[in-house]
Structure 1
Amino acid sequence: MNTDDIPAAPLRIFLLDDHEVVRRGVRDLLEAEPDMVVVGEASDAREALARVPAARPQVAVLDVRLGGDRDGAGDHQGVEVCRELRASMPELACLMLTSFDDDEALFGAIMAGASGYVLKRIGGSELITAIRTVAAGKSMLDPRAVTRVMSRLTTPQPAPTPSRLDRLSPREHEILELIGEGLTNRQIGERLFLAEKTVKNRISSILSKLGVGRRVQAAMIAEKAREQRAADAG
């Protein structure tokens, strides 16, 4: 038999979105393609983290915001899912799908290891192209947006003032260190034997005391503090 006649295995895709109608629409779109199959779905972060390893997808299409923002819990949860999945499945390509053109979310997605970031207003054929692109190991990130985000990474950051760091409790210092190491809330909880909700509340307190609005800013402060301690010790 000619090997050219043997069809390639379909591209395995997992969907995470808290709206069932969106998941159905994307599933129908993808499964109309002969080389794609949706191997699993989830409506929230916990389901996704439990189901993705068993489904063994090659691409995970992840909604950035889950559960809305009724209590703030849905804010960028999809980015956290990306970070956790990439930590345990580095071969997995994550494509972030969002309704919002949000530099903070893009920044977080890049830091979490996402291969692509597209808006939900993207056309169906463009979404299919984006999935094939990230599955092939290529980036699907808008160059202009990446330039904006990377400029923030390379801009020198002031060292954290001792007074702000002194506001943190010993436990908050521990959590800040682990944020700087790139650990997720769940991983921090496991390391420190804390409930995930407790970690989330502690991080909110840390951000407030440091005067920053995002986790990634706290991570940068943690890195600066490590550099300062190393310099003082030297």
Structure 2
Amino acid sequence: MRLSLLLAFLFPLCLAGQCYGSFEVFSGGGISGTSQELTSEAFSSGPVSVFRFGFGASFLVGHRLLLRTGLQFNQYGETATLHTQALLWGTQHDGDGGFNGDITSGEDFGEIKTDIRHLYAEGMLALRYEFETYSPWRPFVEGGFILGKYGSTLSRDKSGTEPSTTRKVDDFRSLSPIGRFGVGVNYNFNEHVGVYGQPVLQCHLTSINDRDLWRMQPWQLTMELGVRVFMDPR
């Protein structure tokens, strides 16, 4: 299954060698969270910083329209915060032989924050439309589809009191469909080499968890930077 997935997304790389296009390497950094962030007196969650990198190719399929394919290694997740003060019971004893439920123990353990990142290997297919210009700068829009293969989950205690852990969550789906959209600009130094940058939004289209009572649809917003090496065998 893994080999078939890899071949399905890398097959266009072979086609790219037969027509005008480019090979590219890229990386991106930004934030990730979930569509249903939990908030309560004792627990809350929010975005976490993430990083991804990959390689791929693009080739011309129409007038200024290119098909892009690639393989990237990615992270999704959130920062989970446990408000321990909300879990404490009052001492209840008023010091005079009676009890008062409003009296607290005076202890304040503060907050426990944990960064959680789910690691994925992703095959990508996308279409990119490049606007015609008369300068080295060429803006574009890009949208596509990703099939993500779940690997493991990394948890790191931000207080540094607990060691980082890596484990595979059994309830997570092995494969997940992901949507992708970006707007960016190319800058071509010459006919052989160029660079590009684009903000990219990626979002899981279904819950990554098999259990209906715990739905998780991670999203990710990153700034992607890459280098393109152009080829024209004609």
TM-score by length of 2: 0.24
- Greater helix percent: which structure? 1
TM-score by length of 1: 0.24
Between 1 and 2, higher relative CO (CA 8 Å, sep ≥ 6) is seen in 2
Max Rg structure: 2
